[in-house]
Amino acid sequence: MKQNTLKIYNTLSRKKEVFEPLSPPHIGLYVCGPTVYGDAHLGHSRPAVTFDTVNRYLTHMGYKVRYVRNITDVGHLQGDADEGEDKIAKKAKLEQLEPMEVAQQYTDSYHRDMEALNTWKPSIEPRATGHIPEQIALVQGILDEGLGYVVNGSVYFDVLKYNEKYQYGKLSGRILEELISGSRALDGQGEKRNPVDFALWKNASSEHLMKWESPWGVGFPGWHLECTAMSSKYLGKQFDIHGGGMDLMFPHHECEIAQGNACNHQDPVKYWMHNNMITINGQKMGKSLGNFITLQELFSGNHQLLEQAYSPMTIRYFILTAHYRSTLDFSNDALIAAQKGYKKIINGLRIAKNLQFNSDKNDWLDENQINQVEQSISSAYRAMDDDFNTAQAIGHIFNILKKINSVYTGQLHSSIFGKEIFDKMISTYVVFVDEILGLKEEKSDNQQGLLDVLLKIYTEAKTAKNYDKVDEIRLDLKELGFVVKDMKDKIDWAYEE
């Protein structure tokens, strides 16, 4: 196992830290999952791909990752605050469905989209509604510590009291006094002693759809509570990495830290990781702006802002071309460029998997070429070790690809690398593309069948010197997105870049 080479930017300390797991080789990784009341959209793709890549790289390093990603199916209210309608219940009323039908439908569609993006399934995918007793126990624990209070069947977290002993706001850098003075002007404090307090349990009105018995009456859990309940249940009271989008840092993750400390007297998480946001043509995505794009719309091209369809692997590749802490702007131009880059990478993958070392031509080694390959390999790993810098790693992978392509086209002879370096070059490329970056070919079995038939006809036409037929097949293949390659000793194909 490669150890102590990985550095992670910890949002909590605001600096890169050498990664030292709590109990290696096991790693606890928790990522806030979707609230399942609508189709997954662009905003879901970035944390999904980012933390999938974190999971893949840690696994590649030899760690045993327990990756927990929850499904929020209750308690997430409109406006993300402590008042308003439950997002799932609202959708259920609108569509005359059971709330659990809504949750199931959008959990299924989320899974479909995550599979398309080639993300690994989480080790555990717990649902908030499946963990009501655990959440009630947490509320009781916080009350026992004197850090919560009950009003009319609802329970609130006492932030001021908590802050006497701990520091509320340390993750997001918020100052409590400023939060209080900032929120005074707003109304809606309602039952709270202080506007900065947050709900742990909410009393449910009779028309409320999803509700459970509790020691404080019939109600439902506050949104922040579920992640504390499920992460501590499956990963322990303190675990290695908690991930999520930057938008969740406050109040959601700040509240998780407060709940964890209140119950267990220790910080729940060692490394907090946050991916930056995405924009569309430079703007924030929002329903009112008309630039809200679901992943299905992106994959089909069925949206007024899209000039064409973009495949899931194009999206995955595009996300990986930026470091996860940088902003990422979606535009047709950027996506078309990403599509080209992805096809280059994947053509390289096909070539690399079939390329053979051939020692019968030269018996001398080209030290200069060998050095370049070795540099690119170690640089690619160094980039990943530097806070999962996929953007830089991809650059180095392209340098390796140049060498592979040179061998493929006959510009370089494989023997100049020596067998050991040649094999290392090929395996590093395949491991990076396949395993670490999670990029795969997207051609269907049908397409492969068609391709095989057309290539056979092409070869026959070429042997028969029927050049009209040759040109015709070439055009047919182009329509399907493939280019024929007439090599010295064989006929090959590639994805059109």
Q: Which residues of 39-58 are buried (b: 16+ CB within 10 A; e: fewer)?
A: bbbbbbbbbbbbbbbbbbbb
What's the half-sphere exposure (Cβ side, CA atoms, 13 Å) at 66? 19
- Residues 214-253 within binding reach of Zn ion (CB under 5 A): 227
Q: 35 vs 314, which CB is nearer to Zn ion?
A: 35
Least spacing, CB of residue 250 vs Zn ion, in Å: 12
Q: 32 vs 257, which CB is nearer to Zn ion?
A: 32
* Contact yes or no for 232/131 (Cβ under 8 A): no
Least spacing, CB of residue 87 vs Zn ion, in Å: 14
Write down the residue that tokens 């209140």 correspond to: 262
Give the interface size with Zn ion as a residue count (CB under 5 A): 2
Rounded CA separation 212/214 (Å): 6
Burial of residue 413, with CB atoms counted within 10 A of its CB: 0-12 exposed, 13-18 middle, 19 or more buried? middle
The three-state DSSP-derived secondary structure of 198-239 is: EEEEEECCCCCCCCECCCCCCEEECHHHHHHHHHHHHHCCCE
Q: 255 vs 384, which CB is nearer to Zn ion?
A: 255
x/- track of binding to Zn ion for residues 31-50 (CB under 5 A): -x------------------
Of 25-33, 171-179, 410-418, 486-494, which segment contacts Zn ion by CB under 5 A? 25-33
Q: 32 vs 136, which CB is nearer to Zn ion?
A: 32
142 binds Zn ion (CB under 5 A): no
Rounded CA separation 291/312 (Å): 19
Q: 34 vs 418, which CB is nearer to Zn ion?
A: 34
* Contact yes or no for 241/324 (Cβ under 8 A): no
116 binds Zn ion (CB under 5 A): no
Rounded CA separation 83/34 (Å): 20
Q: 255 vs 352, which CB is nearer to Zn ion?
A: 255
Structure tokens at 10: 């910890």
Least spacing, CB of residue 227 vs Zn ion, in Å: 3
Of 26-34, 95-103, 160-168, 451-459, which segment contacts Zn ion by CB under 5 A? 26-34
Q: Quote the Cα angle for 22-260-27, to 5°.
A: 25
Rounded CA separation 226/253 (Å): 11
- Residues 51-70 within binding reach of Zn ion (CB under 5 A): none
74 binds Zn ion (CB under 5 A): no
Least spacing, CB of residue 38 vs Zn ion, in Å: 18
Least spacing, CB of residue 224 vs Zn ion, in Å: 7
Least spacing, CB of residue 252 vs Zn ion, in Å: 5
Least spacing, CB of residue 29 vs Zn ion, in Å: 13
Least spacing, CB of residue 31 vs Zn ion, in Å: 8
Rounded CA separation 113/33 (Å): 13
x/- track of binding to Zn ion for residues 285-324 (CB under 5 A): ----------------------------------------
Amino acid 57 reads: Y
Q: 80 vs 101, which CB is nearer to Zn ion?
A: 80
Residue numbers of the site for Zn ion (CB under 5 A)?
32, 227
